[in-house]
Structure 1
Amino acid sequence: MRLPPLVVTDEDRVVLEGVTRSRTAAARDVQRAWIVLLAAQGWSNREIGVRVGLHYNQVAVWRGRYRDEGMAGLVDTGRPGRPPVYGADDVILLVKTATETPPAPASRWTMEALARRLNEAGVTISASQVWRICQGLDLKPWQYESWMTSHDPDFWVKAADVCGLYVDPPVNAVVWSVDEKTGMRARSRVNPTRPAQPAAGSRPGRRARREFEYRRHGTAVLYAGLNVHDGQVAAWVTDSTRADNFIAFLTDLVETTPNGLELHCIVDNLSAHGTKAVQEFLDDNPHVFLHRTPTHASWLNQVELFFSILQRRLLRYGEFDSVDDLATKVIAFINDYNKRATPFRWTYDGRPLQAA
């Protein structure tokens, strides 16, 4: 039997219609508003359930709660069940303990260790309950984040120099961001990698699969220079980061630089960049200048952005039968990359960040 239309006051109708149009209201509140409004139009519980995606029995519950309690009936009531066993003092003690150094010889807290420590302090609690409380507080004492602090006394001077080359380069100059990507591994899988498969009939789709076991064929070093103002990459693959390889790469950059232009190269603090042979090369080429990043600040060198692209798109999942195969595919990737290369957008200007 179809129920009579639900009686809704004009004031409530305005509020409920506003909820259905809101972009920030909770989904459950929008759903309940629609239930009341549609019930007021004479819709049956089954029709409303199909419209709002709820079982008709649950529609009847909210319909009845509005009929009996008005707008207050659309608000969730407290859930029945056992009251919390652990008070604020217990939670504070857990947080205090979890943020302290764990007892020797352990180097990090576990849920079991935290539970034992609180039990010793007179709080009877299990490891699983410790985990629930930590989850609720988004407290993860078993995790660590790492960072690298530069103690270079000239950090800001060097950072400003490098950023100046990015945002305001010298007139009649070419700026290259130069670095080496070491430890590129040539390895191939023992068994062929299986490609991804789409769903077919009752069979679900399947992601690409590859066997864990692989064969090692050696490693290689990539010397790369990124022209920071047109995005082009110059590179070649060799076997080490020796100073003579670095000089040979600089020589290649010199040969590609038009006459009359200065060559400014941003490099890191690798020992091979500061040898006597490198200094002699700079003395013989007075139009070549090296700009060193601060220590532990490789993120200032834009070529690292290209190395990240190379790693994600080729090296991480690539298979190489030999070092020569690795070198060939790396250079092929760079040649293809240069067809669409654009400069990276650099926003950091080398000045210390100001507190808000």
Structure 2
Amino acid sequence: MRRRGPALEPLLLSDEERATLTWWARRASSAQALALRARIVLACDGPDVPSIVGVARELGITADTVRKWRRRFLAERLDGLVDEPRPGRPPTIAVDEIEAVVVATLEEIPKNATHWSRSSMAARSGLSKSTVGRIWRKFQLKPHLVGTFKLSTDPLFIEKVHDVIGLYFDPPEGAVVLSVDEKSQIQALDRSQPVLPMMPGMPERRTHDYVRNGLTTLFAAFDTSSGKVITSLHRRHRAAEFKKFLVKIDREVPDGLDIHLICDNYGTHKTPAIRAWLAQHPRFHMHFTPTGSSWINQVERWFGFLTDQMIRRGAHKNVQALERDIRAWIKNWNEDPKPFTWTKTANEILDSLARFCRRISGAGH
């Protein structure tokens, strides 16, 4: 029989506390850390005393995290969630001042600038630049950074997501699933002067300028179950080259196996010549990703490995040297292939995108 620990003290919220925590948890502009702490306390609310492990499982965090913020709230109530106590001299900044900086960073734009700097926020708040910097680090706010995104406008977005993700999680029997795409315009670049090798205390150094020595295109079909890759290099990027690549796939995949290809919506994949060839090869089945959604195609991640490990820092005096190095890298990959583990279900992806859209002003419904 398992030994039970000491009984937990009930965490009971007042109406005002519950309203504040709900606002912190749901407000789109809340700092992630503060929103999570609010959700922890809300999940622990009630006379029935929910279990620590149950709350941790519900929120997808560790039991220690739940235990820490539950205990902090019982000791200090709402103030305990905003700022952790530090050893040494007591803090001289009021909680209201910290919240004002966080809210202004998330919800306001400074005059004559597109984003806050430590100097502009210090001038607005009356705090020092170093204090502003500490608050931003505490709540993981980085006004100087910006990311990019693009939402698909494909009218069949939901259907295509379910189709592609279904192939990842439940591939058909007696078939191979290949994630296919082209990495076009790979440049054979050579530096204008020799690269200086890395030395102790000094990184590898190279000139900022380079010489272009031609282009090549890599066609790749990534086997989602084994990680092996079928590839072909061509100097041009047309439907004719894609058809040649399909012929190579047909030749290399054992007879008796159906072939499910996951492709993007590039025009060369849908020409009359390609459709005619596919009609003559019924074991091929095409599955198209939603427009603007290359992230769903696993071969794109494989292209990232190739770029980081070989292309980006490579130096090639001609296209032949570039293609030779690409073939050697692919040969080495296929000697020890590594499939990718896809973890997000179609419903999880769609739910995540729905939450993201609700945060975007003017995104619609």
Go from structure 1 to structure 2 and tell me whether the alpha carbon gap of 1:335 and 1:105 turns closer, same or farther (over 3 Å shift): same
- The answer for the alignment partner of 2:198 in structure 1 is 196
After TM superposition, the score normalised by the length of structure 2 is 0.64
Superposed displacement of residue 266, structure 1: 0.9
8 Å CA contact retained: 1:156, 1:351: no
More divergent stretch after superposition (127-136 vs 229-238): 127-136
After TM superposition, the score normalised by the length of structure 1 is 0.65
- The answer for the alignment partner of 2:325 in structure 1 is 329
Go from structure 1 to structure 2 and tell me whether the alpha carbon gap of 1:321 and 1:110 turns closer, same or farther (over 3 Å shift): same
8 Å CA contact retained: 1:186, 1:217: yes
Superposed displacement of residue 268, structure 1: 1.2
In the aligned structure 2, how far is the partner of 1:340 from the partner of 1:78?
A: 54
For the residue of structure 1 that corresponds to 2:107, the secondary structure is coil
In the aligned structure 2, how far is the partner of 1:270 from the partner of 1:105?
A: 42
For the residue of structure 1 that corresponds to 2:171, the secondary structure is coil
Go from structure 1 to structure 2 and tell me whether the alpha carbon gap of 1:112 and 1:233 turns closer, same or farther (over 3 Å shift): same
CA RMSD of aligned residues (A): 2.9
Go from structure 1 to structure 2 and tell me whether the alpha carbon gap of 1:108 and 1:78 turns closer, same or farther (over 3 Å shift): closer
8 Å CA contact retained: 2:110, 2:120: no
- Of the candidates 333, 336, 339, which is equivalent to residue 335 of structure 2? 339
For the residue of structure 1 that corresponds to 2:194, the secondary structure is coil
In the aligned structure 2, how far is the partner of 1:324 from the partner of 1:195?
A: 24
Could you tell me which amino acid in structure 1 is paired with residue 166 of structure 2?
A: G
8 Å CA contact retained: 1:156, 1:352: no
Superposed displacement of residue 178, structure 1: 0.7
Which deviations, in whole Å up to 9, do the C-alpha atoms of 1:237-294 show, x marking residues without a partner?
A: 2234322222221122122233343222111122222223322222232222111122
Superposed displacement of residue 230, structure 1: 2.8
2:266 maps to 1:270: yes
- The answer for the alignment partner of 2:74 in structure 1 is none
Please show how residues 240-259 of structure 1 align to structure 2 within 5 Å.
240-259=236-255
Superposed displacement of residue 300, structure 1: 2.4
For the residue of structure 1 that corresponds to 2:347, the secondary structure is coil
Please show how residues 105-254 of structure 1 align to structure 2 within 5 Å.
106-116=113-123, 118=124, 124-125=126-127, 127-197=129-199, 204-254=200-250
Could you tell me which amino acid in structure 2 is paired with residue 155 of structure 1?
A: F
Could you tell me which amino acid in structure 2 is paired with residue 139 of structure 1?
A: L
In the aligned structure 1, how far is the partner of 2:137 from the partner of 2:338?
A: 44
Go from structure 1 to structure 2 and tell me whether the alpha carbon gap of 1:102 and 1:248 turns closer, same or farther (over 3 Å shift): same
Which deviations, in whole Å up to 9, do the C-alpha atoms of 1:18-41 show, x marking residues without a partner?
A: xxxxxxxxxxxxxxxxxxxxxxxx
- The answer for the alignment partner of 2:315 in structure 1 is 319
- The answer for the alignment partner of 1:303 in structure 2 is 299
For the residue of structure 2 that corresponds to 1:352, the secondary structure is helix
Please show how residues 79-94 of structure 1 align to structure 2 within 5 Å.
79=89, 84=92, 87-94=94-101
